[in-house]
Amino acid sequence: MGKYKGEGSLAVRPKTTEEVSRILKHCNERNLAVVPQGGNTGLVGGSVPVFDEIIVSMARLNEVKSIDPLSGVLVCQAGCILQHLDDRVAKEGLMMPLDLGAKGSCHIGGNISTNAGGIRYLRYGSLHGSVLGLEVVLANGEVLDVLQSLRKDTTGYDLKQLFIGAEGTLGLVTAAAIHCPPRPKAKNATFLACATFSKVLETFRKAKADLGEILSAFEFLDKESLDLAVGTYEDVKSPLPGSPERFYVLLETSGSNEDHDNEKLHAFLEAALESGAISDGAVAQDGTQLKAFWRIREGVPEALNTHKAMYKYDLSIPQSTMYGLVEDMRARVGDRAYTVGYGHLGDGNLHLNVVADAYSEELTSLIEPFVYERTAELGGSVSAEHGLGQMKADCIGYTKGDSAVSLMRLVKKTLDPKGILNPYKVLPLPGEVTPPQ
Ligand code: FAD
Ligand code: S2G
Ligand code: ZN
């Protein structure tokens, strides 16, 4: 379900790694549970206390340590806000390898801890690839320093990978070394209309083949998503007003030569129109229009979040079967709620949201466990990029088998023997069977 709120009686705001270390040592010796908090934009309740966990806010660890324009490596503290980092590295002709709607508030430490995806994933991949090194404070206060800035290092186990996506349950990330790609000199975007979802997939295939290395984002939204965003915000306008089509695509290209990129883009569009993959399209004429296209995409989650009841599912589903789940869900809930499907199609990541004026047992039982069971049947993942948090702590079994979950429990036991780090998140409580029988 939707946004989580928590109540803590104590929040601490360390400024240095040494302070984080002393806090965890103190808490570990006294069996005091903690919840690490970054920008608090997570969507699965990972950053809020469930009971009386002490909140450890990382916000004051917000310094950039170094940027090497040649290697593209940024070293910064975990509490740096993503947008601030992107603005800072832009001065060196670089860009952050991820971008998401929450960039104005989320921290790089939170991004790493949730292994955040976002709208640049298609081009720049996972943080498992772009994070080169980490500094992490372990449950007993020990500082793990694997803060290398090397692109390649095969000396032993790649320990940093354990903490990327661990949602604060294995250690507190205090600093990171990240590889930032060159900032593209030329960017363009098109907003396309497709009659069916299979034509969206056909367009995606063509875009990969015809645009190749300059394709930097391929986001889809159904008509319900577009209508909701346009209907909610004055400044969200469809570039294809009155289009009768069911599906829309925001496609972005980024490259180093504007003329070359535009030539490729126009050739792709002509071929896509010719083949009938798309029935209409608009190309951004300037930076303002490019921003306006992205405003549509960002307007969707914002508009969804204006509802009192939000059932949010962030799923990895094989692209060919992805939209069938939206249609089945829409049929199940009928006019009790409003169902939308949108997301990072290029990464196989569907954001299925069902919103209504109020939560109800009847609605919840129509939605869950159906959405998780169907995702498992389709060979998908019940969490693509948002993590499990507390919302889906008992759902890991829909995607991971017993052997994987028991090894995760062993890792957790080894790194956090007293279980003080972000308890009740990610893994089911010991002895709990998942998925619910
Ligand atoms: P928080 O919410 O503060 O914490 C997230 C988790 O990480 C918690 O479990 C917390 O305990 C842990 N944590 C935080 N900091 C640390 C640390 N330093 N060390 C250890 N653990 C830590 N997510 C995507 O992946 N892709 C998207 O496209 C996307 N779009 C979004 C759009 C909107 C409008 C919103 C509101 C959210 C969106 N998100 C998206 C979700 C969210 O922004 C991401 O999960 C983000 O990475 C969370 O960062 P944060 O700093 O806010 O972390
Ligand atoms: C996105 C945002 C979160 C949501 O828009 O890409 O990750 O509200 C999502 O579903
Ligand atoms: Zn997303």
Angle (CA) 376-380-385 rounded to 5° is 125
Length of the chain: 437
**Any residues with CB less than 8 A from the CB of 295 and at least 6 apart, and which?**
235, 236
- What pLDDT, on the 0 to 100 scale, is given for residue 233? 97
Is it the case that residue 3 has pLDDT exceeding 80?
no
Q: Which tens digits make up the pLDDT trace of 60-108?
A: 999 999 999 999 999 999 999 999 999 999 999 999 999 999 999 999 9
Q: Does domain 307-386 have CATH number 3.30.1370.60?
A: no
Report the distance separating Cα 193 and Cα 130, nearest Å: 33
Report the distance separating Cα 25 and Cα 41, nearest Å: 27
- What pLDDT, on the 0 to 100 scale, is given for residue 8? 83
- What pLDDT, on the 0 to 100 scale, is given for residue 4? 73
302 CB within 6 A, ligand 2: no
15, two tokens:
């400024």
Q: What is the DSSP pairing of strand 131-137 with strand 172-179?
A: antiparallel
387 CB within 6 A, ligand 2: no
Q: Which tens digits make up the pLDDT trace of 342-358?
A: 999 999 999 999 999 99
Sign of CA dihedral 20, 21, 27, 32: positive
- What pLDDT, on the 0 to 100 scale, is given for residue 428? 84
Atom of ligand 2 nearest to the CA of 344: 6
Within 10 angstroms of residue 112's Cβ, the number of other Cβ atoms is: 26
Q: Which tens digits make up the pLDDT trace of 42-61?
A: 999 999 999 999 999 999 99
> Could you tell which of 103, 220, 351, 354 is best to mutate to test the pocket of ligand 2, judged by most ligand atoms within 8 Å of the CB?
351
- Whole-number mean pLDDT of the chain? 96
The rounded Å distance from CA 316 to ligand 3 centre is 11
Which residue owns the Cα nearest ligand 2 atom 3? Answer: 301
Report the distance separating Cα 78 and Cα 64, nearest Å: 9
Find the mean pLDDT for residues 273-279.
Answer: 98
The CATH class, in words, for 186-303 is alpha beta
Is it the case that residue 280 has pLDDT exceeding 70?
yes
Q: Looking at the domain that runs over 1-183+400-437, which CATH code has it been given?
A: 3.30.465.10
The rounded Å distance from CA 196 to ligand 1 centre is 33
43 CB within 6 A, ligand 2: yes
- What pLDDT, on the 0 to 100 scale, is given for residue 6? 79
Find the mean pLDDT for residues 287-297.
Answer: 97
> Could you tell which of 386, 391, 420, 421 is best to mutate to test the pocket of ligand 1, judged by most ligand atoms within 8 Å of the CB?
386
- What pLDDT, on the 0 to 100 scale, is given for residue 7? 80
| Residue spans per domain, the chain | 1-183+400-437, 186-303, 307-386
The rounded Å distance from CA 407 to ligand 2 centre is 30
> Please, are residues 82 and 110 in contact by the beta-carbon 8 Å criterion?
no
37 CB within 6 A, ligand 1: yes
Shortest-distance ligand to the CA of residue 170: 1
- What pLDDT, on the 0 to 100 scale, is given for residue 313? 98
> Please, are residues 61 and 16 in contact by the beta-carbon 8 Å criterion?
yes
113 CB within 6 A, ligand 1: yes
The rounded Å distance from CA 167 to ligand 3 centre is 17
Atom of ligand 2 nearest to the CA of 314: 10
**Among residues 247, 361, 374, 377, which one has the least CA distance to residue 311?**
361
Report the distance separating Cα 246 and Cα 326, nearest Å: 13
Q: What is the DSSP letter of 166?
A: -
205, two tokens:
């295939």
> Could you tell which of 4, 98, 100, 232 is best to mutate to test the pocket of ligand 2, judged by most ligand atoms within 8 Å of the CB?
100
Which residues pair with residue 264 across a beta bridge? none
47 CB within 6 A, ligand 1: yes
Is it the case that residue 219 has pLDDT exceeding 80?
yes
Collapsing DSSP to helix, strand or coil, 173 comes out as strand
What band does 433 get if pLDDT is binned at 50, 70 and 90? low
Please check whether the two domains, 1-183+400-437 and 186-303, share a CATH topology: no
Rg (CA), the chain: 22
The alpha helices in 56-142, defined as continuous H runs, are 82-90, 108-114, 121-124, 127-130
Atom of ligand 2 nearest to the CA of 300: 5
- What pLDDT, on the 0 to 100 scale, is given for residue 437? 44
Find the mean pLDDT for residues 178-182.
Answer: 98
CA distances for 428 relative to 221, 338, 388, 406, 407, angstroms: 33, 30, 10, 11, 13
- What pLDDT, on the 0 to 100 scale, is given for residue 2? 55
Shortest-distance ligand to the CA of residue 41: 1
Report the distance separating Cα 408 and Cα 138, nearest Å: 16
Find the mean pLDDT for residues 23-43.
Answer: 97
- What pLDDT, on the 0 to 100 scale, is given for residue 245? 98
Q: Which helix (H) or strand (E) holds 136?
A: strand 131-137
Which residue owns the Cα nearest ligand 1 atom 9? Answer: 46
> Please, are residues 89 and 96 in contact by the beta-carbon 8 Å criterion?
yes
The rounded Å distance from CA 350 to ligand 2 centre is 9
Q: What is the DSSP letter of 181?
A: P
CA distances for 78 relative to 22, 46, 189, 226, 374, angstroms: 17, 16, 32, 35, 36
Shortest-distance ligand to the CA of residue 136: 1
**Among residues 380, 98, 122, which one has the least CA distance to residue 252?**
122
Find the mean pLDDT for residues 177-194.
Answer: 97
- Judging by beta carbons within 10 Å of its beta carbon (0-12, 13-18, 19+), is residue 402 exposed, middle or buried? exposed
> Could you tell which of 113, 297, 350, 391 is best to mutate to test the pocket of ligand 1, judged by most ligand atoms within 8 Å of the CB?
113
